[in-house]
Amino acid sequence: MKSFVSGLVAAMLLFLAAILVMYDSPVGTDQVREPGGDVHLESQT
């Protein structure tokens, strides 16, 4: 039981950390290359 709760809490902490890192990141956006080679982002939505 203790290890189950520990695993659950660890998963949630990693999950929240991932959400924080991904928030406002390029995840889920098309990578648009300018002719000069620069990359900017275009939302899929």
Partner 1 sequence: MAAVRTGGGIAAAILALLLAWLAVASFGADSVVEPTVSFGPANTAGSETSSAAVRNAITDRTRLMGDRVQSGTIASVDVLAQQPGQTERYTTSQGVANPEALVRSWRQRGENAGILRDPDFTSGISSLPYENAALLEQPEGRDWRRTHNGMIKYGGGWLILGTAFALALFLFARGRIRTANGQSGIKVERFSAIERANHWMTATGFILLALTGLIITYGKPMLLPLIGPGAFSTLAQASAWIHMASAVPFVVGVVGMAVVWMRQNIPTRRDVEWLKRGGGFMHASDEAPPARRFNAGQKIVFWGVVLGGLVALTTGIALMYPFLWLGITGMQWAQTLHAAIGLALIALIIGHIYIGTVGMEGAVDAMWTGNVDANWAGEHHRLWYESLGKEAALQHQNAPSKEGGTKFTGSPAE
The CB-of-32 to partner 1 minimum distance in angstroms stands at 5
37 part of the interface to partner 1, by CB under 8 A: no
Q: How far apart are CA 25 and CA 11, in angstroms?
A: 21
43 part of the interface to partner 1, by CB under 8 A: no
Residue 29 CA: distances (Å) to CA of 7, 14, 17, 40: 32, 23, 20, 10
One symbol per residue from 7 to 26: x for binding partner 1 (CB under 8 A), - otherwise; what is it?
A: xx-xxx-xxxxxx--x---x
Number of residues that bind partner 1 (CB under 8 A): 29
